[in-house]
A and B are shown apart, each in its own frame.
Chain A
């Protein structure tokens, strides 16, 4: 079993929809939780990271962490065609000094 499981997708939504992207994890040593966005044939770019349980908002993006359930989500409000990309969740273990990534969810937002 993988330490990080990400909803596989792909997801296709109309412009303006609310998108929910989800990951679960099994390692309690993960302390930081990140979301990356990766456009086709580009490197991943960090969208958001959070340390504690709860919500963190940045514009149209909200990252949610529930450590008790070992579950994280990324919500995208008012989705735009420019949001079409692969989204990767990642969990960082400070003790080990490295991150573990989910396999990614590919999102397409149709105009």
Chain B
């Protein structure tokens, strides 16, 4: 959707293993975001980026790290996956001149067992 691709779309992993989720955009937008969505909590911001190598923490950043070495790619890493990180993860991009996170990816459904 709108030039955003998340991979993988589904993943099952074991507790304690590292996991990396990828968000790829073709729109060359400056701002990218990672959210998690859980029942009863809506969308919560994990990390965001406002340019290559420029990132900042969101409200639920513990246990997660990000990297952005190219404009088009924003990676989210779970350093040591826990069951509490079972969730649906969404990447979003914001048009550089806009004011809203206009486009979301299709999501990655992650299960930590």
Contact = CB atoms under 8 A, between A and B. Distances in A.
B interface residue count range (under 10 / 10 to 19 / 20 to 34 / 35 or more) = 20 to 34
Contacts of A46: 100-103
Interface in A1-58: 6, 31-32, 34, 36, 41-46, 49, 51
B93 to A, nearest CB: 11
A103 B40 contact: yes
B106 A43 contact: yes
B45 A98 contact: yes
A43 B100 contact: no
A102 B42 contact: yes
A42 B107 contact: yes
Interface in B30-77: 31, 33, 35, 40-45, 48, 50, 58
Given A51-B99, A102-B42, 19 more contacts: A31-B99, A34-B100, A42-B107, A43-B90, A44-B43, A44-B90, A44-B104, A45-B1, A46-B102, A49-B99, A88-B42, A92-B99, A98-B45, A98-B58, A99-B45, A101-B35, A101-B42, A103-B41, A104-B42
